[in-house]
Amino acid sequence: MRGWLRFARIIDALNERVGQLMYWLAFAMILLGAYNATVRYLGQYIGANLSSNAYLEAQWYLFGAMFMLGAAYTLKHNAHVRVDIMYGRLSPKGQAWIELVGTLVFLLPFSLLVLWLSLSWVEFSWKFHEMSPNPGGLARYPIKTVVPIAFVLLILQGLAQAIKAVAVIRGHRAAVYESTQEDAVL
C-alpha cells in the first residue's frame, strides 16, 4: 500500500503545482480583463479603437484553461460541489467507500470518455491549424489541446483519490494523512 500511496503523492504534487500555476493564470486573466475594459473606454474617449478580438479571446482562453486545468486541483482539495446529505454523517470508512465508488463508477469513466472523444477533435484542429473566425482572432488549436491535458490530470487525480480511499478502507488512515501533509510541504 505504501507504494501506491507514494504514487498518489506524486500525482497530488503534480496537480498541486498545476493548481498553483492556475493562480498565476487567473492573475494574468484579471490583468488582461482590466486592460480590455480600460482601452475600450479610453478608445471611445479619444476616438480610436485600442482593443482587438485577440485580447478578448485571450481573456476567454485563459479562463477556459484555468477552469479546465484547475479541475484536478479542485478534486485534490475536495472543493467540488457535492450533495452532503448523508456523506457528512458517515464514518471515514463510509466516506471512503462513497469516494471510491463515485470515482470508479462516475469520475473515471466520464473522464476517459471525454479524453477519448477529445483526441480526434484536437487532432483535427491541429491538422488544419484552426483559427478563430473573428477578425484578428487567435489560433484555436492550442486552447483545444487543454481539454485532453485537463482530463488526463483529472484521471490521474481520480486514481490518487481512489488509492487514498482504498487506504482508508484498509485502515491506513495515518498513511493517507501523512501523504496529505507531505503535499503541503512540496
Per-residue pLDDT tens digits for 114-167: 999 999 999 999 999 999 998 888 999 999 999 999 999 999 999 999 999 999
Show the cell assigned to 168.
482508508
- What mean pLDDT is predicted for residues 171-178? 64
Distance from C-alpha of 29 to C-alpha of 14, rounded to nearest angstrom: 22
Q: How confident is the model at residue 64 (pLDDT cuts 50, 70, 90)?
A: very high
Predicted local distance difference test score (pLDDT) of residue 185 = 42
pLDDT at 186 over 50: no
